[in-house]
A and B are shown apart, each in its own frame.
Chain A
Amino acid sequence: MNQENILAVENLVMHFGGIKALNDVTFNIKRGSVSALIGPNGAGKTTVFNCLTGFYKATGGKIQLSAGGKETSIIKVLGEPFKATDFISPVAFVSRLKYKMFGGSHLVNRAGLSRTFQNIRLFKEMSVVENLLVAQHMLVNRSLVAGILNTKGYQKAEEEALERAFYWLGVVDLVDSANRLAGELSYGQQRRLEIARAMCTNPEIVCLDEPAAGLNPSETEALTKMIRVLRDEHNTTVLLIEHDMGMVMDISDYIVVLDHGEVIAKGGPDDIKSNPKVIAAYLGAEEGEEVTL
């Protein structure tokens, strides 16, 4: 268990067919920090996210998550192909088979990492509260018998889940919309609901994929406050991808800059602002992209 770094990414490589989306990405995320992953369009930010959260199986490298009192290798829980040595060692074989059969990105979440999506993925035809209750699936009483008989223990667990849901609705200021369908909410509300839903899984680190995209300035400001609340009051590490440089520089303790699938700079906001490589990457990357470093 690494106390200092909650997430350690080493030499991460990701290829899609012949396309090399990531070459050798290495960075560490400190426990309790707000960190940002930035870079021009197509730099591979979301690919990094998808590797971290277990939606893509990285081609090579290591991703180590130290949360919930244990170390988790994210690549391993996704189920690796069998190796020749597995057929000699039964223990390795069984573990490999277990992850092959039952492994997958859900284990990454259970290990303490949750995420939101760039194009919001809510359960649109379920109510706002239900969205949050689904997120607490691993925390409630899932016994079929207890649920069908509606036992005391089951009722208590459900009530606690409901309470937690309303608590997070309070944090993201959606209590009034609790019984609306998630699909009916406005864009900004949907973004906030998605963050609340990610937080309902009790993560130690939450990865936000462009949380401020499509928000107006006052909403962005509220979001910034909310992210600080997550860090300060809930001891949650936040990793975000964001294009709004003002916001990134405002809240980040640590910034990793990606370009063409490689880390070109990492450090505090001030280092990044003055880093010539970063400026070159942004200004040279695409015409007309608004950058205020």
Chain B
Amino acid sequence: MDIVLQQLVNGLTLGSVYGLIAIGYTMVYGIIGMINFAHGDVYMVSAYITAIAIAILTFFGIESFPIIIVGTLFLTVAVTGAYGWVIERIAYRPLRSSSRLAVLISAIGMSLILQNYVQLSQGANQQGVPTLLTGAIRFSVGDGFVQITYMKLFILFVSLLGMGILTYVIQKTKLGRMCRATQQDRKMASILGIDTDKVISTVFVIGAVMAALAGVLVTLDYGAFDFYVGFIIGIKAFTAAVLGGIGSLPGAMLGGLILGLSEALFAGLISSDYKDVFSFSLLVLILIIRPSGLLGKPEVEKV
């Protein structure tokens, strides 16, 4: 019983992180119908920037947790956002009118570039960050106990805050209205005077920013990372996006939570060696049974 509860807690945080990354996939898919293959690697870059930001801040003798965290968040979000913008500008925009296959291959190329470039400049070894936030709340359940670290609470808080702000931006602001219009009909939106290229760029930046949030949170929690971390977590987040219904923002968040919870339960109760196999199999199953996902609209073929 305590294992189940503990895994539920772990799954909840894991799921909220998946949700954050899935937002990038789902928004980009919604707006230009492509799978941004390099998104997982954008997350990876943000993990490095987090560590670099912490290293720089501690180098200047800053030790208070709130300042470090705010500084790191700010730096990581800014730089990763720039990455999102530049990736779209270089690798995707010239291919706006090309076949889907061409764009997808270009995205895979971008993913390889990011991985190898980070590996070349930072070395292939695992890197780490110091533990900044310690302590936990413990409940005893039956014979055992359930532990919720402050870090996990912090992850939940920040990711929910991030999703909340994003939902507000998309639903209530002019920018969000432009995004939604472009998603519905790009041609019509551009006829109505929306600079759709700019909107698409913005969406990439938003996706990168959300991935950066996830990168900061996960890196602070786990401590260790290398240039390859983006790959697996990228596929998981994509699974979450598909599970929730690709193109749907609340779907990405819901999908992330469901995937995180089920994966944590599988790892805790059945086998942690095969938890990645579990997630991939889940992806295949969803695509077979319900390709439109939980909250997505079924695609009507245009004949």
- A residues sitting closer than 8 Å to B (CB atoms) are 16-17, 46, 50, 55-56, 117
In the complex the two chains form, is B301's CB within 8 Å of A55's CB?
yes
In the complex the two chains form, is A50's CB within 8 Å of B303's CB?
yes
Task: List 5 additional contacts besides A16-B300, A46-B303, A50-B303; criterion CB under 8 Å.
Answer: A17-B297, A55-B301, A55-B303, A56-B303, A117-B303
**Chain B count of residues within 8 A CB distance of the other chain:** 4
* Closest chain B CB from A282 CB (angstroms): 25
8 A–B contacts from the bound complex (CB under 8 Å): A16-B300, A17-B297, A46-B303, A50-B303, A55-B301, A55-B303, A56-B303, A117-B303
Q: Return the chain B residue nearest A117 by Cβ.
A: B303
- B residues sitting closer than 8 Å to A (CB atoms) are 297, 300-301, 303
* Closest chain B CB from A210 CB (angstroms): 13
B-chain residues with CB within 8 Å of residue A16 when the two chains form the complex: 300
User: For the complex, what is the distance from the CA of A16 to the CA of B301, rounded to whole Å?
Assistant: 11
Between A and B, how many residue pairs show CB distances below 8 Å? 8
From B297, B300, B301, B303, residue with most partner A Cβ within 10 Å: B303
* Closest chain B CB from A104 CB (angstroms): 12
User: For the complex, what is the distance from the CA of A178 to the CA of B300, rounded to whole Å?
Assistant: 35
User: For the complex, what is the distance from the CA of A236 to the CA of B225, rounded to whole Å?
Assistant: 68
B-chain residues with CB within 8 Å of residue A46 when the two chains form the complex: 303
Q: Return the chain A residue nearest B303 by Cβ.
A: A55
User: For the complex, what is the distance from the CA of A55 to the CA of B303, rounded to whole Å?
Assistant: 7
User: For the complex, what is the distance from the CA of A230 to the CA of B57, rounded to whole Å?
Assistant: 80
User: For the complex, what is the distance from the CA of A117 to the CA of B303, rounded to whole Å?
Assistant: 8
Q: Return the chain B residue nearest A17 by Cβ.
A: B297
User: For the complex, what is the distance from the CA of A46 to the CA of B297, rounded to whole Å?
Assistant: 22
B-chain residues with CB within 8 Å of residue A17 when the two chains form the complex: 297
User: For the complex, what is the distance from the CA of A40 to the CA of B297, rounded to whole Å?
Assistant: 29
User: For the complex, what is the distance from the CA of A15 to the CA of B284, rounded to whole Å?
Assistant: 29
Closest 7 CB pairs of A and B: A55-B303, A50-B303, A16-B300, A55-B301, A117-B303, A46-B303, A56-B303
Q: Return the chain A residue nearest B301 by Cβ.
A: A55
User: For the complex, what is the distance from the CA of A46 to the CA of B301, rounded to whole Å?
Assistant: 13
User: For the complex, what is the distance from the CA of A16 to the CA of B297, rounded to whole Å?
Assistant: 11
User: For the complex, what is the distance from the CA of A17 to the CA of B297, rounded to whole Å?
Assistant: 9
User: For the complex, what is the distance from the CA of A50 to the CA of B301, rounded to whole Å?
Assistant: 10
Q: Return the chain B residue nearest A121 by Cβ.
A: B303
Q: Return the chain B residue nearest A209 by Cβ.
A: B303
User: For the complex, what is the distance from the CA of A50 to the CA of B303, rounded to whole Å?
Assistant: 8
User: For the complex, what is the distance from the CA of A88 to the CA of B297, rounded to whole Å?
Assistant: 33
A-chain residues with CB within 8 Å of residue B303 when the two chains form the complex: 46, 50, 55-56, 117
A-chain residues with CB within 8 Å of residue B300 when the two chains form the complex: 16
Q: Return the chain A residue nearest B298 by Cβ.
A: A17
* Closest chain B CB from A19 CB (angstroms): 10
* Closest chain B CB from A213 CB (angstroms): 15
* Closest chain A CB from B185 CB (angstroms): 17
* Closest chain A CB from B16 CB (angstroms): 31
* Closest chain B CB from A263 CB (angstroms): 21
User: For the complex, what is the distance from the CA of A17 to the CA of B299, rounded to whole Å?
Assistant: 11
Q: Return the chain A residue nearest B302 by Cβ.
A: A119
A-chain residues with CB within 8 Å of residue B301 when the two chains form the complex: 55
* Closest chain B CB from A285 CB (angstroms): 23
* Closest chain A CB from B248 CB (angstroms): 15
Q: Return the chain B residue nearest A118 by Cβ.
A: B303
User: For the complex, what is the distance from the CA of A50 to the CA of B300, rounded to whole Å?
Assistant: 12
User: For the complex, what is the distance from the CA of A16 to the CA of B303, rounded to whole Å?
Assistant: 14
User: For the complex, what is the distance from the CA of A274 to the CA of B300, rounded to whole Å?
Assistant: 38
User: For the complex, what is the distance from the CA of A56 to the CA of B300, rounded to whole Å?
Assistant: 9
Q: Return the chain B residue nearest A115 by Cβ.
A: B303
User: For the complex, what is the distance from the CA of A55 to the CA of B300, rounded to whole Å?
Assistant: 10
* Closest chain B CB from A194 CB (angstroms): 14
